[in-house]
Homo-oligomer: A and B are copies of this chain.
Amino acid sequence: MLALPPQLLEISPHQLEVAETLLQVGRFLVIFIAARAIAEVMVRLQLPTILGELVAGVLIGVSGLHLIVPPETQAQLSAAAAGLVGALAEITPDAVREINVETFPSLQTVSQLGLFALLFLTGLESELDELVAVGVQASTVAVTGVLLPFALGTAGLYYMFDVPLIPAVFAGAAMTATSIGITASVFGELRWLKRREGQIVIGAAVLDDILGIVILAVVVAVVGGGAFSIGPVLKLCLAAVAFVGVALFLSRKAAPAFDWVVDRLKAPGDVAVASFVVLTLCCFAAQAIGLEAALGAFAAGLILSASKHTHDIDAAVKPLVALFATVFFVLIGTSMDLSVLNPFDPANREGLIVAAFLLVVAIAGKVATGWSYLSKEPTNRLVVGLGMMPRGEVGLIFLGLGSQAGILTPALEAAILLMVIGTTFLAPILLRLVIPSEPGESELKALEQSS
């Protein structure tokens, strides 16, 4: 807003504001240009754009240009970026780096809004009746997809690699997650979200999230040294069941009430704001009873999927998803440190071997879920299995918690990271390879031509 004379203060409030604005705006700029450029390449290769967003994140993140460096990675903002912003705001590059760390949470909030918007949209576009119809199959897939990787991973690490029990259990637990964000995004783009396979995978991913919360609670309670107490675990299970039950009930009853209210609103932007109120209410309620806020976002979409304003809500949410879910996926990419993949660094070798084992188990354990359920109607079981595969942000959250608690050795940390990266990148590629040979091909071609 103004140029303060340099003698006034070392870093004036003005310089601080300029640097903050440049960093905030500049980060969006870098994220969107990179994501869009790689996404366009992916579309031409007939791969899902989310893969482009992840790759874009890797290129500009801690494994690449260091333009976007989440503080928890401990990486440093690139000298060029810090120098440029420093020169423009007339402060030192070190001060820029400090401001970068301090203002980063704002970007993460925007990214979180993107995840919520994506899950809300996923819920909104779900056919509730179909989701209920696949309830049994989804539950079987979810439970299998949790038990198999957990059992195989823990046992393998403990018996084959002599990893102590607690880290082995933790690594096994980290393999149980399914990234509903990545799955929903890929299925949505390939127009398989409303198919039976899509509904099973989304339902299973939601249940997985709930199971994941329970497993994590148990594991951390055990690791925390306290005796394993059944109380909190039971409480979480009950909360999860109650939440899903209430959401299912409300989706039948609350949508007419929502429509009644919206019809009575006269101020502009009524549908967008009213939907956002439902969204934040559900997120708050989910978090308040100890579940993930993201689960609330999905439930909110599910509740409003019966509204007669679905089309308007959809139109209001889509730009939010286009903008902010991109930020979410790019940020996942930026925090992936691919240097652990370098086989020429001897320090990486142990991790790479363990990682190869974990990756195989992680893939096999989830792909096998495709054959775990009974279905009268024919479904593409490989698509279901592959859809359950990406660990994405949920895997990274597990990893972050394990790191923080000091449970994991560097090699095991690297191996889990590699398992997360591998499943996250392979799932969209493999799904894209599997899906064109399906009856949906003509539909897809029409879609590509029209876009």
Contact = CB atoms under 8 A, between A and B. Distances in A.
Contact of A2 (B7, B213, B281, B293): B213
Interface of A is mostly: helix
A266 B44 contact: yes
Contact of A3 (B108, B217, B273): B217
Contact of A277 (B14, B36, B270, B293): B36
A109 interface: yes
A1 B14 CA distance: 39
Report, as a range, how many residues of chain A touch the other chain. 35 or more
Contacts of A113: 110
Contact of A273 (B236, B283, B322): B322
A5 B40 contact: no
Given A25-B283, A105-B103, A316-B322, A7 B236 contact: no
Contacts of A32: 273, 276-277, 280
Copies in the complex: 2
Interface in A1-34: 1-5, 7-8, 13-14, 18, 21-22, 24-26, 28-29, 32-33
Contacts of A316: 318-319, 322
Contacts of A315: 315, 319
A272 interface: yes
Interface in A278-321: 280-281, 283-284, 287-288, 290, 292-293, 315-321
A266 B448 CA distance: 8
Contact of A22 (B25, B216, B281, B288): B288
B317 A24 contact: no
Nearest to A22: B287
B43 A3 contact: no
A100 interface: no
Interface string A426-451: 00000000000000000000001001
A52 B277 CA distance: 17
A52 B267 contact: yes
A255 interface: no
A267 B39 contact: yes
A269 interface: yes
Interface string A25-69: 110110011011001101110000100100000000000000000
Given A2-B216, A319-B316, A8 B224 contact: yes
A18 B283 CA distance: 11
A269 B1 contact: no
A227 B319 CA distance: 50
B268 A49 contact: yes
Contact of A269 (B5, B105, B224, B322): B322
A165 interface: no
A189 interface: yes
A375 interface: no
A29 B280 contact: yes
A397 interface: yes
B322 A319 contact: no
A74 interface: no
Interface in A214-259: 216-217, 220-221, 224, 226, 229, 232, 235-236
**Nearest 5 A-B pairs (CB), nearest first?**
A269-B322, A106-B109, A316-B319, A39-B267, A2-B217
7 contacts: A1-B292, A5-B224, A42-B267, A103-B105, A106-B108, A269-B326, A272-B323
